[in-house]
Amino acid sequence: YHGWQLQKQDDTVCRRVMDAISNTVGHPVTLVGCGRTDAGVHALRYVANFKTDTAIPMDRLPFALNTRLPEDIAVLKAARVPEGFNAIGSLERKEYTYRVLNRPHRDPIYLNRAFFYPHKLDREAMRRAACAFAGTHDFKALQSTGGTVKTTVRTVYYCELTQGPETIDMRVCADGFL
């Protein structure tokens, strides 16, 4: 997929989910997601909202939608929200995990799910550096070229490293990303 957001020509997660919802509830819907994701990004928990007057019970809606979605997309939960709720506007925090496969040989299981780096890394130095991201800072240097955000100041609530036998995960939680 070419990320979450609708695109005219490219296949996106939003298009697939929106089509499944429209076909299930019997009318067109506009789907609002909690943020953008780039191509190749995988979401473990992603919130989106839409308006409908369907009689399908909320606890049954994920089952109905999942029959219309490809195997690599799944709806886990549905809930009624107050009028005016907006997934992107109501968002308070986001968390991303960046994974490094750190071993001598690549593993196809991690293809497109981890950065492969075969040389020894100084994990303690990485851990210390990750701590420096915590707090409120101007991240203008990390903004995409041509970005149109109002401010590049973000609060990073935590940036921590955890390690498994072959991977290093960096979890970053912030009020927004560039």
Single out the residue of 36, 38, 18, 35 nearest to residue 27, CA to CA.
18
Cα separation of 104 and 120, whole Å?
9
Whose tokens are 């076909």? That residue is 23
Q: Count the alpha carbons within 13 Å of 49 in the hemisphere toward its beta carbon.
A: 15
Cα separation of 91 and 54, whole Å?
25
Say if CB 1 and CB 42 are below 8 A apart: no
Catalytic residues: 38
